[in-house]
Structure 1
């Protein structure tokens, strides 16, 4: 890891508040990127609160959120993010064939039109930095306006997470192997 781990006994009061808030929330622990963000506790507090909403409380539901997170993790080749969210996606009933296709940078076959809309929107925005009108209209039809706004939030937040994990080389738990090829 490229950034010092802050021992809980050595945290400032602001760092302690941020770490405790994260651990007492829906995650039940301090998330991996907060290991870096804790060095700026106000940033860490705000980012983890946004992340808690985007991960657990959007109108997208777990399966669609995890789909968008995996597309983002694959784009950034964020190994830790992929490691965590592949397992969450499987728990949320995302088809393993969809996960494998994303890992291989192929478009999955979808039986679910909402999942197809999430994937197409995510890929368009991440890869081209824009969303063509037909893709946008399909997302609005499938997810509604609030869901589409929340999807963009998920993509942006998990880009931040992926960049943090990559920049500070926050690796996989000991004994785990990388699943993504460059």
Structure 2
């Protein structure tokens, strides 16, 4: 059960109502789950949803590559709701089922090209260590370009915030429990 629920419309301030109206009228057409928490600070809700829209829909990285990065972040944080939503989006974007299954199982997937491989390599080093060795950075620039590298790092950073928000407030739970994520130290809520 979520620790925070969507504010009922009658309990929202005019600014909160405007934030909800903006996101519903946008590309998503609905309130994204982390915004349920972010609405407690309406400026965070406005800025967070706009940044998410930019990073998800308006980068130079093709959707398959963005979704790979998002799934790697979701798995890193064992974010059930993030995984459930972006597994579906990843499949729509052309990701292979086997790649998604390998990431869920924390195994190295067999990837189709150098773009996928460099995203995987960067994410699996940057997320746990917070840094990228020079050789991997140089490879990322060669494959993705400077703008693509900046966008990849921004996607990973943003989806860390999303994953932590979803986890802390148990948003999307229990409906998004991922059985293959079972962790005895932190059993699913």
Q: Normalised by the size of structure 1, how large is the TM-score? A: 0.95
**1:54-93, aligned counterparts within 5 Å?**
54-93=55-94
Unaligned runs of 5+ in 1: none
In structure 1, the residue matched to 2:137 is 136
Q: Are residues 159 and 177 of structure 1, via their aligned partners in 2, closer, same or farther at CA, if it must alter by over 3 Å?
A: closer
Any conservation in 1 of the 2:27–2:53 contact (CA below 8 Å)?
Answer: yes
- For the residue of structure 2 that corresponds to 1:131, the secondary structure is coil
Rounded Cα–Cα distance in structure 1 between residues aligned with 2:85 and 2:174: 10
Report deviation, 1:71: 0.3
Unaligned runs of 5+ in 2: 184-189
**1:20-31, aligned counterparts within 5 Å?**
20-31=21-32
What RMSD in Å do the two structures reach over aligned CA positions?
Answer: 1.2
Q: Normalised by the size of structure 2, how large is the TM-score? A: 0.92
Any conservation in 2 of the 1:83–1:172 contact (CA below 8 Å)?
Answer: no
Report deviation, 1:81: 0.2
Report deviation, 1:5: 2.8
1:48-96 CA deviation, whole Å, 9 max, x = no partner?
Answer: 0000000000101100000000000000000000000000000000111
**Greater mean deviation of Cα atoms: 148-157 or 108-117:** 108-117
